Chains A and B, each alone.
Chain A
Amino acid sequence: MKQTIIAASLVLATVAGSALAADQFIPIPSYRVGPYASGGAKFYGGMIDYLNYVNLKEGGVGGVKLTYEECETEYKNDRGVECYERLKAKNGGASAFNFMSTGITYAVMDRADKDKIPLMTMGFGRADAQDGRAFKYTFPLITSYWSQATAKIQFIGQRLGGMDKLRGKKIVNLYHGSAYGKETIPVLDAMAKKHGFELKHIEVPAPGTEQQSQWLDIRRERPDFVVLRSWGVMTPAALKSAQKVGYPREQIVSNWWGGSEEDAIAAGEAAKGYIAGSFALDGKQFPVIQDIEKVVYGAGKGNLSDKGYMGTVNYNRGVVSGILMVEAIRAAQKKYGAKTLSGDQIRWGMENINIDAKRQQALGVTDMFPQVRTSCQNHEGSGYTRFMQWDGKDWKPVSGWIKADTSVTLPLIKASVEKYVQEKGITLRDCNAEK
Chain B
Amino acid sequence: MFYRESGQFKSSYAADSAIFTIAQDRVFIAALLALSFVAVPGLASDYLLSGILIPFLILSLAALGLNILTGYAGQLSLGSAAFMAVGAFATYNFMIRIPGMPLLLALFLGGLCAALVGVAFGLPSLRIKGFYLAVATLAAQFFIEWVFTKFSWFSNDSSSGVISAPAMQIFGYPIDTPASKYLLTLAIVAFMALAAKNMARASIGRAWMAVRDMDVAAEVIGIRMLRTKLLAFAISSFYCGVAGALYAFVLLGTVDAQAFDLHRSFQILFMIIIGGVGSILGSFLGAAFIVLLPICLNLLGQVFHGAISTQFLANLEMMLFGGLIIFFLIVEPHGLARLWQIAKEKLRVWPFPH
Contact = CB atoms under 8 A, between A and B. Distances in A.
A424 B164 contact: yes
A416 B159 contact: yes
B17 interface: no
Interface stretch (A100-108, A212-220, A339-347, A383-391): A100-108
Given A178-B258, A179-B160, A107 B311 contact: no
B175 to A, nearest CB: 12
Interface in B160-188: 160-162, 164-167, 176
B333 interface: no
B51 A82 contact: yes
Contact of B166 (A179, A303, A416, A423): A423
B259 A86 contact: no
Interface residues on B, range: 35 or more
Query: Chain A interface mostly helix, strand, loop or mixed?
Result: helix
Contact of B253 (A70, A110, A178, A416): A110
A259 interface: no
Interface in A36-71: 37, 41, 69-71
B256 A106 contact: yes
Contacts of A77: 252, 256, 259
Interface in B306-354: 309-312, 314-315, 317-318
Contacts of B159: 127-128, 182-183, 186, 412, 416
B228 interface: no
Nearest to A45: B311
Given A86-B51, A183-B160, A183-B161, A78 B251 contact: yes
A241 B118 CA distance: 37
Interface string A118-141: 000000011110000000000000
B164 A109 contact: yes
A126 B310 contact: no
B96 interface: yes
Contacts of A32: 310-311, 314-315
B41 to A, nearest CB: 15
A177 B151 CA distance: 12
B256 A103 contact: yes
B166 A106 contact: no
B253 A33 contact: no
A111 B253 contact: yes
B314 A72 contact: yes
Given A110-B164, A111-B253, A186-B159, A72 B305 contact: no
Nearest to B148: A179
B52 interface: yes
Contacts of A86: 47, 51, 299
A411 B51 CA distance: 38
A205 interface: yes
A4 interface: no
Interface in B84-104: 96
Contacts of A163: none
A305 B50 contact: no
Contacts of A161: none
Contacts of B298: 71-72
B46 interface: yes
B160 A125 contact: yes
Given A177-B149, A182-B149, A425-B167, A82 B258 contact: no
Contacts of B149: 177-179, 182, 206
Interface in A197-248: 205-206
A408 interface: no
Contacts, number: 127
B160 A85 contact: no
A32 B46 CA distance: 26
B62 to A, nearest CB: 12
B164 A33 contact: no
Interface string B257-301: 111000000000000000000000000000000000011001100
Interface in B242-258: 247, 251-254, 256-258
A81 interface: yes
B21 interface: no
B132 interface: no
A72 B310 CA distance: 10
A41 B302 CA distance: 17
Interface string A125-164: 1111000000000000000000000000000000000000
Nearest to A114: B176
Contacts of B299: 86
A30 interface: yes
Contacts of A183: 159-161
Given A78-B251, A111-B253, A179-B257, A126 B160 contact: yes
A30 B318 CA distance: 15
Interface in A75-98: 77-79, 81-86, 88-89
A85 B96 contact: no
A69 B166 contact: no
Nearest to A90: B47
B330 to A, nearest CB: 24
A128 B160 CA distance: 10
A89 B48 CA distance: 13
Nearest to A416: B159
B283 to A, nearest CB: 17
A305 B256 contact: no
B259 A103 contact: yes
B65 interface: no
Contacts of A81: 50-51, 55, 251-252
A70 B298 CA distance: 9
Contacts of B312: 305
Nearest to B302: A69
A228 to B, nearest CB: 18
7 contacts: A69-B305, A70-B305, A86-B51, A89-B47, A109-B253, A127-B160, A177-B146
Interface of A: 30, 32-33, 37, 41, 69-72, 77-79, 81-86, 88-89, 102-103, 106-107, 109-111, 114, 125-128, 177-180, 182-183, 186, 205-206, 303, 305, 412, 416, 423-425
Interface of B: 46-47, 50-52, 55, 96, 146, 149-150, 152, 155-156, 159-162, 164-167, 176, 247, 251-254, 256-259, 294-295, 298-299, 302, 305, 309-312, 314-315, 317-318
Given A78-B251, A85-B47, A186-B159, 11 more contacts: A33-B314, A70-B302, A77-B256, A82-B55, A85-B46, A103-B256, A103-B258, A178-B258, A412-B159, A423-B166, A424-B167
The 4 tightest CB contacts between A and B, nearest first, are A179-B161, A85-B51, A32-B314, A107-B252
